[in-house]
């Protein structure tokens, strides 16, 4: 049965309430839902989702692809590098793995197939590159983590930047060697004049992440205000400069955003009820006591949590996992002295790996459908990329400074 996650959480909560050691009046549940949704930071989610949805239909992605092809398409594995580069830039506009995978997959899977790449490899490298979207700010996953833990959104955004860039670099190295070994084709070198012409045409797109991130990092705007500025920038670039964002497409994407945000907020409200029931049963304290009795080593704990998240991420979406499991983990995180930004980045990074992992990875399903390939074909080409992801994850666990250096530099705690 394909029962929505929100209904599952509410159903499990009602069963828990029936057998609770102390009663919870049903009349208080609407208040619990409201408290779960009453976080100012959550206001940014609809606008970041809308920004990503509008980017799909406004010609933004095509211009980014043209710029990237002009500069790096001639390198071995050129279109794979283009995929990684475009996703790194798109990360500053979307913050959603699925949105980035859909946008780049729509353009680059057919292009890579025409160029002679195996279509399964095209889907797999795009899957790996799309992981960068929720790491480099802005990030919907980090906003949800902040709502669940009261952590600073700005510090979380900065904490994901270095890991996102690092993953992009590792994926490009991996793509280069895979292309050399398999003799994958490369694009013809573009004349210098054409390079600068494509760059000039794509310059308005490159300004969008600057507007979003610059307004947040300089303190001019909150994350919500920066998201609104980003939406306005995409409308200006796609509707006025490129003239590809029609009124019909705009209204269609508004409806798409409403459906996406509605489902996310339903899960948030349901998770608030579920969290209250777990608190009533003392689940967080019990889990913390058990974990600290097993190990007092933060590194061992993080590797254990990463393994758990890999399994959960392969079966569930990131939203319910963050909202349900992260609050349970936080007492242990605090007890072991783990930085909340470091734990947040490890959480999001690991769950993103789960999205491309069989049997139920959502990004995997999306790209397999777009490329019209089987899950097994996808996985045969994904495993070198998967190893690259795991290698990056191990580095992040062993070296917390990779996630905490930039937040401490730009937004130091008082």
pLDDT in tens, 253-290: 999 889 888 888 888 888 888 888 887 777 767 777 77
In a domain, 16, yes or no: no
Dihedral (Cα; 234, 196, 85, 63), 10-degree rounding: 40
In a domain, 77, yes or no: yes
Residue 321 predicted with pLDDT over 60: yes
Number of structural domains (the chain) is 1
How far apart, in whole angstroms, are the C-alpha atoms of residue 95 and residue 212? Answer: 12
- 152-178 burial, b if ≥16 CB within 10 A, otherwise e? bbbbbbbbbbbbbebbbebbbebbbeb
How far apart, in whole angstroms, are the C-alpha atoms of residue 119 and residue 382? Answer: 12
**Residue 61: what pLDDT?**
83
- Taking all residues of the chain, what is their mean pLDDT, rounded to a whole number? 87
Which of the four pLDDT bands, split at 50, 70 and 90, describes residue 1? very low
What are the tens digits of pLDDT across the range 339-379? 999 999 999 999 999 888 877 788 888 899 889 998 889 98
More confident residue, 20 or 219: 219
**Residue 319: what pLDDT?**
84
In a domain, 30, yes or no: no
Residue 22 predicted with pLDDT over 80: no
DSSP class of 93: T
Tokens representing residue 291 in the block: 């974990």
How far apart, in whole angstroms, are the C-alpha atoms of residue 209 and residue 90? Answer: 8
Tokens representing residue 371 in the block: 């490329």
In a domain, 164, yes or no: yes
More confident residue, 65 or 280: 65
Q: Which residue range forms the structural domain that includes residue 105?
A: 36-410
Average pLDDT over residues 197-205: 90
Secondary structure class of 244 (helix, strand, coil): coil
In a domain, 261, yes or no: yes
Secondary structure class of 135 (helix, strand, coil): coil
C-alpha closest to that of 320 among 258, 389, 367, 263: 263
What are the tens digits of pLDDT across the range 142-173? 999 998 898 888 899 999 999 999 999 999 99
Residue 12 predicted with pLDDT over 70: yes
In a domain, 28, yes or no: no
Average pLDDT over residues 238-259: 90
In a domain, 27, yes or no: no
DSSP code string of 255-304 = HHHHHHHHHHHHHHHHHHHHHHHHHHTTHHHHHHHHHHHH---HHHHHHH
How far apart, in whole angstroms, are the C-alpha atoms of residue 378 and residue 122? Answer: 9
In a domain, 58, yes or no: yes
How far apart, in whole angstroms, are the C-alpha atoms of residue 342 and residue 399? Answer: 10
Residue 2 predicted with pLDDT over 70: no
Percent of the chain residues past pLDDT 90, beyond the cut: 29
Dihedral (Cα; 334, 318, 226, 166), 10-degree rounding: 80
**Residue 414: what pLDDT?**
67
C-alpha closest to that of 276 among 8, 20, 39, 42: 20
Report how far apart the first and last C-alpha atoms of the chain are (Å, whole number): 50
């Amino acid at each position: 049965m394909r029962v929505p996650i929100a209904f599952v959480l509410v159903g499990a909560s009602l069963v828990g309430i029936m057998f609770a050691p102390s009663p919870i009046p049903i009349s208080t549940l609407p208040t619990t839902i409201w408290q779960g949704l009453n976080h100012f930071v959550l206001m940014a989610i609809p606008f970041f989702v809308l920004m990503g949805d509008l980017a799909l239909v406004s010609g933004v992605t095509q211009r980014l692809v043209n710029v990237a092809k002009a500069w790096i398409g001639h390198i071995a594995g050129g279109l794979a590098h283009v995929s990684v580069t475009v996703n790194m830039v798109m990360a500053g506009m979307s913050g959603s793995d699925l949105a980035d995978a859909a946008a780049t997959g729509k353009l680059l899977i057919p292009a890579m197939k025409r160029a002679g790449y195996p279509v399964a490899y095209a889907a797999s490298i795009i899957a790996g590159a799309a992981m960068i979207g929720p790491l480099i700010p802005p990030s919907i996953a980090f906003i949800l983590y902040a709502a669940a833990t009261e952590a600073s959104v700005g510090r979380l955004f900065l904490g994901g930047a270095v890991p996102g860039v690092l993953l992009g670099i590792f994926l490009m190295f991996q793509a280069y060697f895979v292309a050399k070994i398999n003799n994958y084709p490369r694009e013809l070198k573009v004349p210098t004049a054409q390079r600068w012409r494509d760059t000039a045409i794509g310059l308005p797109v490159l300004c969008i992440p600057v507007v979003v991130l610059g307004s947040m990092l300089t303190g001019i705007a909150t994350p919500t205000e920066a998201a609104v500025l980003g939406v306005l920038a995409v409308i200006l670039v796609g509707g006025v400069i490129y003239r590809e964002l029609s009124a019909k497409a705009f209204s269609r994407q508004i409806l798409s955003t409403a459906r996406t945000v509605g489902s996310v907020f339903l899960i948030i409200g349901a998770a608030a009820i579920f969290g209250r029931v777990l608190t009533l049963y003392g689940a967080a304290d019990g889990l913390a006591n058990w974990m600290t009795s097993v190990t007092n080593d933060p590194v061992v704990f993080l590797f254990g949590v990463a393994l758990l998240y890999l399994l959960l991420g392969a079966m569930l979406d990131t939203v319910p996992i963050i909202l349900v499991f992260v609050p349970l983990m936080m007492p242990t995180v605090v007890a072991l002295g783990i930085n909340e930004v470091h734990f947040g980045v490890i959480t999001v990074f690991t769950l993103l790996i789960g999205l491309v992992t069989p049997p139920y990875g959502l990004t995997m399903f999306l790209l397999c459908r777009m490329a019209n390939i089987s899950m097994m074909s996808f996985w045969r080409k994904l495993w070198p990329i998967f190893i690259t992801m795991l290698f990056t994850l191990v580095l992040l666990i062993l070296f917390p400074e990779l996630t905490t250096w930039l937040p401490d530099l730009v937004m130091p705690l008082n």
